[in-house]
């Protein structure tokens, strides 16, 4: 039997997880439900965008004449509105048509002068153009998208702008990956639900709520299970249920070296562990493997650690499985303004406040960095990505992941 990989680098952990992807399937959703979903195909435009030459301004349309001098008086032939039900205008020499933004360019015109640069006679029969009309106020047919061209490729995370673009292209529904059901199981005898009263030694269970938010942020469906006590039987029952109902299982707590770390113990004896522990701080205890064939992440119990491991490992795993281009992790260069405690063998992810200045981004570390201090994460805007051996001195320029 080969040894379980132990205390491996983040990249190695990602590579191992990616070998056991969740099962994917595709469904068609209407655009009202497309936000945050990942496209399962290359999406081609059904139309040209715009579908016809049109005006980008309210003003007057006429034919551009390079010999004309300004001010120039033209007779007004009529009004071209944005809807198509008015009479088609045919604008000749010495004539102009009043035009609204988005209205099709009338026959015989190729330039627009915005209304602010025009003076219309009282009776509306004539218009004086105070300067030359401009061809660049005409939005040309197909200048944004050509019919049949691919504007959104497979794996595009449908942001609000992209959902709008699907509509522009004429799609009423889009094929997307079915949302993954992600089970969230907290473990620990000491955990109580917020709202209940605490006995000495008990704390409020927070990880499942934070993790559920992260699952939604990724565009998937969290299924929060009741927290389980530290026992092999309780945990086994919960894992059986969750692995049957969900595509991926996330547990929190119970993966360290302690006697009561039952997630690790149960996975060692009855599950299949692909690796245990990785070189990031906070967040070194996690394990990954399968339970009854379902991928399972054993996340650490400390609230900051479970969040950080989700961002570094689980989010990457899901994006990778769907080949999704979002939600993106933005890394910026920032100058450390406080000393940050680093480690020799791990990537160090301290929570920092980012401030944009003329000199660039500045990173401050205002809160104490215990991995149980959720306040330090809730108030932070970034996580340092100090590589092993990087010192973390004031004045160093480092990579920071934007939260």
Binding footprint of ligand AMP on the chain (CB under 6 A) = 186, 188, 190-191, 203, 205-208, 252-254, 256, 258, 300-303, 372
Q: Closest distance between ligand AMP and the C-beta of residue 204, in Å?
A: 7
Candidates 126, 131, 130, 133; CA nearest to 75 is: 126
Q: How far from chain centre, in Å, is Cα 285?
A: 27
User: Measured between alpha carbons, how far is residue 193 from residues 198, 202, 226, 228, 375 in Å?
Assistant: 9, 10, 9, 12, 19
Nearer to Mg ion by Cβ, of 260 and 364: the residue is 260
Nearer to ligand AMP by Cβ, of 64 and 260: the residue is 260
Q: Closest distance between ligand AMP and the C-beta of residue 308, in Å?
A: 13
Q: How far from chain centre, in Å, is Cα 188?
A: 32
Straight-line distance from the first to the last Cα atom of the chain, in angstroms, rounded to the nearest whole number: 41
Report what 365 binds from Mg ion, ligand AMP, none; CB cut-off 5-8 Å by kind. Answer: none
Q: Closest distance between ligand AMP and the C-beta of residue 253, in Å?
A: 3
Two tokens, residue 15? 């590579």
Angle at the Cα of 228 from the Cα atoms of 225 and 240, rounded to 5 degrees: 65
Q: Are 134 and 113 in contact (CB under 8 A)?
A: yes
Q: Closest distance between Mg ion and the C-beta of residue 378, in Å?
A: 22
Nearer to ligand AMP by Cβ, of 76 and 278: the residue is 278
Report what 159 binds from Mg ion, ligand AMP, none; CB cut-off 5-8 Å by kind. Answer: none
Q: Is 253 in the site for Mg ion (CB under 5 A)?
A: yes
Residue with tokens 């491996």: 8
Indicate the angle between helix axes 10-18 and 315-322, nearest 10 degrees: 40
Report what 252 binds from ligand AMP, Mg ion, none; CB cut-off 5-8 Å by kind. Answer: ligand AMP
Report the C-alpha gap between 289 and 308 in whole angstroms. Answer: 19
Q: Closest distance between ligand AMP and the C-beta of residue 301, in Å?
A: 2
Q: Closest distance between ligand AMP and the C-beta of residue 157, in Å?
A: 28
Candidates 323, 187, 195, 320; CA nearest to 256 is: 187
Backbone φ, ψ for residue 98 (5° rounding): -65, 135
Nearer to ligand AMP by Cβ, of 98 and 351: the residue is 351
Nearer to ligand AMP by Cβ, of 229 and 315: the residue is 229
DSSP element (H, E) containing 300: none
Q: Closest distance between Mg ion and the C-beta of residue 346, in Å?
A: 22
Instruction: Pick from 50, 59, 188, 295 the residue near Mg ion by CB under 5 A.
Output: 188
Nearer to ligand AMP by Cβ, of 117 and 185: the residue is 185
Candidates 257, 258, 309; CA nearest to 282 is: 309
Q: Closest distance between ligand AMP and the C-beta of residue 284, in Å?
A: 11
Report what 293 binds from ligand AMP, Mg ion, none; CB cut-off 5-8 Å by kind. Answer: none
Residue number with the smallest Cβ distance to ligand AMP: 301
Contacts of 152 (CB under 8 A, 6+ apart): 39, 42, 43, 162, 165, 166
Q: Which stretch binds Mg ion (CB under 5 A): 154-162, 273-281, 293-301, 320-328?
A: 293-301
Two tokens, residue 317? 């795993």
Report the C-alpha gap between 34 and 160 in whole angstroms. Answer: 9
Residue with tokens 């704390």: 203
Report what 207 binds from Mg ion, ligand AMP, none; CB cut-off 5-8 Å by kind. Answer: ligand AMP
Nearer to ligand AMP by Cβ, of 74 and 191: the residue is 191
3-class DSSP state of 115 = helix
Q: Closest distance between ligand AMP and the C-beta of residue 21, in Å?
A: 26
3-class DSSP state of 373 = coil
Nearer to ligand AMP by Cβ, of 63 and 192: the residue is 192
Nearer to ligand AMP by Cβ, of 222 and 300: the residue is 300
- Chain contacts with Mg ion (rule: CB under 5 A): 188, 253-254, 301
């Amino acid at each position: 039997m080969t040894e379980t990989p132990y205390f491996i680098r983040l990249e190695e952990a990602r590579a191992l997880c990616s070998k056991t992807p969740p099962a994917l399937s595709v469904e068609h959703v209407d655009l009202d439900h497309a936000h945050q979903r990942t496209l399962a195909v290359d999406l081609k435009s059904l139309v040209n965008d715009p579908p016809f030459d049109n005006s980008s301004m309210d003003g007057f349309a006429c034919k551009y004449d390079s010999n004309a001098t300004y001010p120039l008086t033209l007779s007004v032939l009529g009004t071209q509105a944005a809807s198509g039900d008015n009479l088609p205008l045919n604008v000749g020499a010495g004539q102009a048509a009043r035009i609204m933004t988005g209205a099709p360019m009338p026959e015989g015109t190729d330039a627009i002068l915005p209304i602010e640069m025009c003076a219309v006679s009282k009776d509306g029969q004539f218009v004086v153009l105070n300067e030359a009309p401009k061809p660049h106020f005409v939005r040309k047919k197909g200048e944004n998208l050509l019919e049949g061209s691919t504007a959104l490729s497979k794996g595009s995370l449908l942001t609000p702008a992209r959902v709008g673009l699907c509509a522009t292209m004429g799609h009423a529904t889009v094929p997307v990956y079915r949302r993954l059901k992600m089970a969230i199981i907290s473990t620990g005898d000491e955990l109580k639900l917020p709202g209940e009263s605490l006995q000495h030694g008990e704390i409020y269970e927070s990880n499942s709520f934070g993790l559920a938010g992260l699952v939604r942020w990724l565009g998937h469906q969290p299924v929060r299970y009741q927290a389980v006590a530290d026992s092999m039987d309780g945990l086994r029952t919960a894992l059986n249920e969750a692995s049957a109902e969900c595509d991926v299982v996330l547990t929190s707590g119970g993966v360290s070296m302690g006697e009561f770390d039952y997630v690790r113990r149960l996975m060692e004896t009855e599950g299949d562990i692909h690796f245990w522990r990785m070189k990031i701080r906070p967040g070194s205890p996690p394990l990954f493997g399968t339970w009854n064939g379902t991928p399972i992440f054993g996340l650490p119990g400390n609230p900051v650690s479970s969040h950080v491991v989700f961002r570094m490992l689980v989010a990457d795993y899901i994006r990778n499985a769907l080949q999704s281009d979002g939600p993106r992790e933005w890394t910026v260069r920032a100058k450390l303004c406080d000393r940050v405690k680093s480690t020799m063998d791990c990537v160090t992810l301290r929570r920092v406040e980012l401030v944009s200045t003329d000199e660039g981004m500045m990173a401050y570390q205002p809160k104490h960095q215990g991995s149980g201090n959720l306040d330090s994460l809730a108030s932070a805007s970034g996580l340092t990505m100090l590589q092993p051996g990087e010192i973390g001195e004031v004045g160093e320029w480092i990579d920071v992941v934007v939260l």
